[in-house]
Amino acid sequence: MNFTVKNIRKAFGSTVAVDDVSVTFQSGEIRAIVGENGAGKSTLLKLVSGIHQRDAGEVYFDDQPFHPTSYVDAAMSGVAYVFQETTINPYLGVAENIFINRLREFRNRLGLIDRKKLNNAAQKILDDIGVDFKVTDPIQSLNLGQWKTIEVARGLAYEPKVIFFDESTAFLNYNEVKAFLGIVKRLKANGMAIGIVTHHMNEIFEIADCVTVMKDGKWVADKNLSEVTESELQQMMVGRTLSTIYPEKADSLPETVVLKVENLSQNNKLKNISFELHEGEILGIGGLKGAGGDELLGILFGDEKETSGKIWVDDKEYAHKNPNNAMKNGFSLLPGERTLEGLITSFSIKDNINMGAMKTKGFLLDKSQETEIANKMIKEVTIKTPSCEMPCDSLSGGNMQKVVIAKCLATNPKILLLNNPTRGIDVGARLEIYTVISNLAKEGMGIILLSEDLGELIGLCNRTMIFRRGEMSKMYEFDETPTEESMIQYML
Amino acid sequence: MGENKAMNKNTLLNRMKGKAFRDYFPIIFLLVMCIAFGFMNDRFISWRNFTVILVQIVTLLVSGMGLTFVIMAGSIDLSVGSTLALAAVATALTVPKWGVLSFVAALLVGAFCGLVNGIIFAVGRVPSFIATLGTMTVTRGIVLILTEGVPIQITDQKFLEVFSGKSLFGIPNTAVFMVIIIFISWVVLEKTPFGKEIRAVGGGERVAELAGIKVTKVKVLSYVWAGTMFGIAGLLQCARVLAATATLGEGFEMDVITAVVVGGTPMSGGVGSIGGTILGAFVIQILSNGMNMMGLSPYLQSIVKGTILVLAVFISIDRKKKTQTK
């Protein structure tokens, strides 16, 4: 049995997510798909399992053309996909979660659910995988790894020949990962063709047989894991010499410390983080999703609470109650979710820019001053729009992000917190955003840049911290130049 | 670059096109309705009928000014009718002692009811529908206890002269108060930071919060504002009918919600205008007025009103947006 993908392509708007990729999955083989964020790994798996529809290319399943119309359609035909996100409904039972969209198959003559039949069917699947819990266990008492297993069982309930795992271990702890990998190995032994996407190199070397490397939506290489080393693989993933799209860095840093953080912790999400931010510095934070960067920015901006630790702003202890208070202390945050947290897309550019710092004349809004500020900002961060009165949903992603940056700057911050400012933004707008960030630093603003883009951290930051499971695993000092390979090592 | 500009222009044009019918629906509907009623009954278009409508619409419009703020902030207030009744009772009870000054009682009672709603909703995080469903019932209970089911008459001539008399050109005083309140509401909503904050909270609570807006405070204040408006509506209503009754404003919340929504303020918040609510209120009031003139039974009127509400939303909703309808 084999599952062959030929020259598949998919674009979302103007972004080509998967470009002319070919790959084959064999029965009894585990193939890992690796690449940086945005390389198109997940999209590839979603294309072949019916979640997205391909724009071009062929897929053959046992030499038959395969064109699933939906996720369920694909699963029924023998190709299952396990989502990265948790799709467990915590208010239903284990068996109901496994057969969530197929409960009608378990109706008795009265049209009611035959619970015994349902539980037996579910238990049988769980037994086949070999799990450490029973179908009757209350779902709330199970851990995330076991939930993931239930999702796997859901896929297996269709008795597929091919199964895909999309970063299934991303939110699991060490023991859960171990148990999960055991299950995947058992599936392989049963002769299933398996595709996995994961960021964890050690997992790949533990279970996979071969690997496909992707970069910027394109196929880079197919390798047997016996013939490559970890660092060779990382080299292929990164694949490029550092480009020149980054503005020149400052050759020295001012002595003045604007922010000092000592032993900051938040439960098990953030552990004993200490650092100093200098005036005019761009301090990078790298790490995998969930490594603690989001929490750190959230705490600094008063949006989340720490469990212990201290923060000083300009040598004064800083009690950060809420975002409003943080802004009064000179902070400004560019949130990670542009359209959910950054701006209100139905509002005008002007209203968004002024949202954080409305200008008043007595009781009333000073509209002319707001327009003036909006126009000044539009020029400063180079937003392409005919007028500041245009609603934000008329803008491209890159220009929307510039509006969020303008909104942050309109409050005249001393410390700017950036959460993945260029996520999902094309190269042209990226370059402009880098220039803006660099200029702000030159004017003396202290900037913390959390980014999933390693090139960005290397190219833009004066110093870079790497977080691993809530701990700082590395601080690249001013005179140290990090490489992408070494950064990845500290992240994993 | 040139292409980019052309595209921007194009989308702007498309937006305007898409907007046209949606945005002008209430006013088109209002005009069509007036013409239709005008043909059916020659008394309909007359100065006398206009002043009648003007007096009748006061309660609806003033309450609408309050509810517009709440709905724009993304929540709902069902306690309109009860708050209005309690404010009316407070007025009627204090008129014998305080005379004209008893309007203060109405304002305070209204503001207090709003404050309670706001705290339960914004601080206690009880969904606004449930919170105000509860206070609606409780407040009505208080009204029933205070009145013991018997109307409290208002006889103070000075009070009645001020709040339900007529001034220049026979224009009712209440209409003058209404215009002042509309103007103040418009200024607050369109010209002050508070108005912008209301929009921001309704348009994207999380965005507003991260922009440093004190979301809880804004929400509570929107309810206090609304309660105060309901209080004023209660004051003017009891002055008009010369008494505060236990059943005053029962079921009135539906009329006010209909007026606001027909006026183009979606229940999802963030968008809306004072002008829209004025239009919506006129649609509802003129519809009642015209149907009454035609002698349509209240049962049929109810059917028509309900249909209009759903129809208005059906036409004005932007189905292209993928946000959930709650």
Instruction: Indicate the domain borders of chain A.
Output: 2-238, 257-491
Is the separation of the CB atoms in A163 and A1 below 8 Å? no
Residue A350, helix vs strand vs coil? helix
How is residue A403 written in tokens?
């509006």
From chain A, the residues in CB contact with B5 under 8 A are: 386
Write the DSSP string, A395-458.
S-HHHHHHHHHHHHHTT--SEEEEESTTTT--HHHHHHHHHHHHHHHHTT-EEEEE-S-HHHHH
CA-closest candidate to residue B103, choices B60, B163, B167: B163
From chain B, the residues in CB contact with A405 under 8 A are: none
Instruction: Give the strand pairing for B152-153 and B243-244.
Output: antiparallel
Buried b (16+ CB within 10 A) or exposed e, A236-250: bbbbeeeeeebbeee
Phi, psi (deg, nearest 5) at residue A53: -100, 135
Same fold, A2-238 and A257-491: yes
Cβ–Cβ contact B2 with A under 8 A: no
Cβ–Cβ contact A259 with B under 8 A: no
Is B210 within 8 Å of A323 when comparing Cβ atoms?
A: yes
DSSP-derived secondary structure letter, A232: H
Cβ–Cβ contact A335 with B under 8 A: yes
Show the beta-strand stretches assigned E in B115-248. 152-153, 243-244
Per-residue confidence (pLDDT) for residue A170, from 0 to 100: 72
Contacts of B112 (CB under 8 A, 6+ apart): B227
From chain A, the residues in CB contact with B196 under 8 A are: 351, 354-355, 358, 365
Per-residue confidence (pLDDT) for residue A315, from 0 to 100: 84
Say how many Å lie between the first and final Cα of chain A, rounded: 34
How far is residue A374's CA from residue A402's CA, in Å, rounded to a whole number?
12
Is B211 within 8 Å of A355 when comparing Cβ atoms?
A: yes
Per-residue confidence (pLDDT) for residue B319, from 0 to 100: 60
CA-closest candidate to residue A168, choices A85, A100, A243: A85
Instruction: Give the strand pairing for A210-215 and A29-34.
Output: parallel
Q: Where are the alpha helices (DSSP H) in A130-213?
A: 144-156, 174-189, 201-207
Residue A209, helix vs strand vs coil? coil
Provide the total of helices (H) and of strands (E) in chain A, helices listed first: 16, 22
CA-closest candidate to residue B266, choices B72, B67, B30: B72
Type of residue at A404: V
DSSP-derived secondary structure letter, B43: T
> Using CB atoms, which residue from B187, B211, B270 is nearest to A356?
B211
Contacts of A444 (CB under 8 A, 6+ apart): A254, A279, A280
How far is residue A439's CA from residue A281's CA, in Å, rounded to a whole number?
11
Cβ–Cβ contact B35 with A under 8 A: no
How far is residue A159's CA from residue A178's CA, in Å, rounded to a whole number?
24
- Mean pLDDT (10-residue bins), chain A, 492 residues: 91 82 94 83 90 92 91 91 86 91 87 91 89 89 87 90 88 78 91 89 89 90 89 74 66 86 90 92 88 92 90 87 90 88 90 88 87 91 87 82 92 93 74 89 93 86 92 88 84 82
Contacts of A208 (CB under 8 A, 6+ apart): A30, A31, A32, A196, A225
Interface A–B counts its CB contacts (< 8 A) at 83
Rounded mean pLDDT of B163-177? Answer: 83
Per-residue confidence (pLDDT) for residue A297, from 0 to 100: 94
User: pLDDT grade, residue B3 (50/70/90)?
Assistant: very low
How far is residue B229's CA from residue B111's CA, in Å, rounded to a whole number?
8
From chain B, the residues in CB contact with A326 under 8 A are: 212
CATH of A257-491, one of 3.30.1490.20, 3.40.50.10490, 3.40.50.300, 3.40.50.1820: 3.40.50.300
Do the interacting molecules here have an ipTM over 0.90? no
How far is residue A439's CA from residue A207's CA, in Å, rounded to a whole number?
47
DSSP-derived secondary structure letter, B172: B
Cα angle, residue A163 at apex, residues A161 and A164 outer, rounded to 5°? 155
How far is residue B26's CA from residue B7's CA, in Å, rounded to a whole number?
31
How far is residue B178's CA from residue B53's CA, in Å, rounded to a whole number?
13
Cβ–Cβ contact B266 with A under 8 A: no
User: pLDDT grade, residue B19 (50/70/90)?
Assistant: low
Superfamily of domain A2-238: P-loop containing nucleotide triphosphate hydrolases (3.40.50.300)
Give residues 80 to 139 of A whose Cβ lies within 8 Å of B.
none
> Using CB atoms, which residue from B5, B12, B193 is nearest to A358?
B193
From chain B, the residues in CB contact with A303 under 8 A are: 209-210
Give residues 364 to 383 of A whose Cβ lies within 8 Å of B.
364-365
Say how many Å lie between the first and final Cα of chain B, rounded: 41
How is residue A382 written in tokens?
């180079």
Instruction: Give the strand pairing for A218-224 and A257-266.
Output: unpaired
The nearest alpha carbon in chain A to B210 belongs to A323
From chain A, the residues in CB contact with B8 under 8 A are: 384-386, 390, 394
Residue A80, helix vs strand vs coil? strand
Contacts of B132 (CB under 8 A, 6+ apart): B76, B77, B78, B79, B117, B121
Residue B222, helix vs strand vs coil? helix
Per-residue confidence (pLDDT) for residue B20, from 0 to 100: 59
The percentage of residues in chain B with a pLDDT greater than 90, rounded to a whole number, is: 56
Distances (CA, A) of B108 to A404, B103, B105, B136, B234: 41, 9, 5, 17, 12
How is residue B237 written in tokens?
């209503």
DSSP-derived secondary structure letter, A249: P
Per-residue confidence (pLDDT) for residue A123, from 0 to 100: 93
Which H/E stretch holds residue A256? none
Per-residue confidence (pLDDT) for residue A234, from 0 to 100: 76
Instruction: Give the strand pairing for A56-61 and A64-65.
Output: antiparallel
- Neighbour-count burial of B149, counting CB atoms closer than 10 A to its CB (0-12 exposed, 13-18 middle, 19+ buried): exposed
Contacts of A213 (CB under 8 A, 6+ apart): A34, A35, A219, A220, A221, A222, A223, A233, A236, A237
Per-residue confidence (pLDDT) for residue A240, from 0 to 100: 53
Which H/E stretch holds residue B228? helix B215-241
How far is residue A119's CA from residue A105's CA, in Å, rounded to a whole number?
13
Is the separation of the CB atoms in A484 and A234 below 8 Å? yes
Is A347 within 8 Å of B270 when comparing Cβ atoms?
A: yes
CA-closest candidate to residue B236, choices B16, B123, B97, B84: B84
Per-residue confidence (pLDDT) for residue A241, from 0 to 100: 45
User: pLDDT grade, residue B22 (50/70/90)?
Assistant: low
Domain residue spans of chain B? 46-249
* Residue A424 Cα, gap to closest chain B Cα (Å): 19
> Using CB atoms, which residue from A346, A355, A407 is nearest to B270?
A346
Q: How many residues does chain A have?
A: 492
Which H/E stretch holds residue A277? strand A270-278
Cβ–Cβ contact B18 with A under 8 A: no
Is the separation of the CB atoms in A60 and A66 below 8 Å? yes
From chain A, the residues in CB contact with B9 under 8 A are: 386
Worst-scoring range by mean pLDDT, A85-94, B174-183, B206-215? A85-94
Is the separation of the CB atoms in A266 and A305 below 8 Å? yes
Phi, psi (deg, nearest 5) at residue A264: -75, 130
How far is residue B122's CA from residue A93's CA, in Å, rounded to a whole number?
34
Show the beta-strand stretches assigned E in chain B. 152-153, 243-244
> Using CB atoms, which residue from A303, A323, A358 is nearest to B196?
A358
Q: At what angle do helices B157-164 and B173-191 cross, to 10 degrees?
A: 60
How is residue B61 written in tokens?
């419009």
Buried b (16+ CB within 10 A) or exposed e, B99-112: eeebbebbbebbbb
Cβ neighbours around A17 below 10 Å, total:
22
Give this prediction's pTM.
0.77
Q: What is the dihedral of CA B201, B204, B206, B207, to 10 degrees?
A: -100
> Using CB atoms, which residue from A346, A390, A394 is nearest to B271?
A346
Which H/E stretch holds residue A222? strand A218-224
The nearest alpha carbon in chain A to B190 belongs to A365
CA-closest candidate to residue A18, choices A172, A201, A218, A152: A218
Which H/E stretch holds residue B104? helix B103-118
How far is residue B91's CA from residue B105's CA, in Å, rounded to a whole number?
6
Per-residue confidence (pLDDT) for residue A248, from 0 to 100: 81
Per-residue confidence (pLDDT) for residue A418, from 0 to 100: 95
Which H/E stretch holds residue B81? helix B80-98
CA-closest candidate to residue A27, choices A160, A225, A162: A162
Is the separation of the CB atoms in B228 and B66 below 8 Å? yes
